[in-house]
């Protein structure tokens, strides 16, 4: 049985994952409208993946005796200065999610809630994978600079990138 504090903390995380899904969707629209087709497809998949993260938490809260709350949708950011800034915002968002997952793990440890601690390990691994993916994209963008041809190739690359990510670890 979840403590009230843990239930509230998990519901707060449900809201964050829901917001991440909305933010990726807004980013997909930004990319699509600027001709970054591959990136747009990649971001649509990320949006779906975040919704899956949200649902996995949602089912867990109900299964563990709490009451999952369907979050309201905060308005995500819809404009970005550049392709590179978009990925900087993504990395910062994912780092923020990782911090909150770590805080949830600490709370589970404090409360000796081994079930929730065990459940959260999937998110710990997922965040490591996501942060690493976005760091590597930003590294490529630093090398590319303003080379339009290289940017075009990166966009093509992203079309296939992450296509199966998540599905192999999906619930
Ligand atoms: Fe579910 Fe990428 O945070």
- CB 84 within 8 Å of CB 141: yes
Tokens linked to 10: 């998990």
Please report the domains of the chain, with CATH numbers, ordered by start residue: 4-162 (1.20.1260.10)
Position 163 scores a pLDDT of: 44
Ligand 1 geometric centre to CA of 85 (Å)? 19
Ligand 1 atom 2: the closest Cα is on which residue? 94
- Asked whether the predicted pLDDT for residue 171 surpasses 50, the reply is no
- Asked whether the predicted pLDDT for residue 161 surpasses 80, the reply is no
Instruction: Assess whether the C-beta atom of 113 lies below 6 angstroms from ligand 1.
Output: no
Instruction: Assess whether the C-beta atom of 94 lies below 6 angstroms from ligand 1.
Output: yes
Ligand 1 geometric centre to CA of 149 (Å)? 30
Least reliable range by pLDDT among 6-15, 95-104, 117-126, 147-156? 147-156
- Asked whether the predicted pLDDT for residue 2 surpasses 90, the reply is yes
Tokens linked to 108: 């589970």
């Amino acid at each position: 049985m979840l403590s009230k504090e843990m239930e509230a903390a998990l519901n707060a995380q449900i809201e964050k994952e829901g917001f991440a899904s909305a933010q990726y969707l807004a980013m997909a629209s930004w990319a699509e409208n600027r001709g970054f087709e591959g990136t747009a497809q990649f971001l649509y998949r990320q949006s779906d993946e975040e919704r899956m993260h949200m649902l996995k938490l949602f089912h867990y809260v109900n299964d563990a005796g709490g009451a999952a709350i369907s979050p309201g949708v905060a308005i995500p950011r819809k404009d970005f200065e550049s392709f590179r800034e978009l990925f900087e915002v993504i990395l910062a968002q994912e780092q923020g999610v990782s911090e909150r997952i770590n805080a949830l793990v600490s709370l589970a440890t404090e409360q000796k809630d081994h079930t929730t601690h065990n459940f959260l390990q999937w998110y710990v691994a997922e965040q490591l994978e996501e942060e690493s993916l976005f760091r590597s994209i930003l590294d490529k963008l630093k090398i590319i600079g303003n080379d339009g041809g290289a940017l075009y190739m990166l966009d093509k690359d992203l079309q296939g990138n992450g296509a199966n990510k998540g599905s192999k670890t999906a619930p």
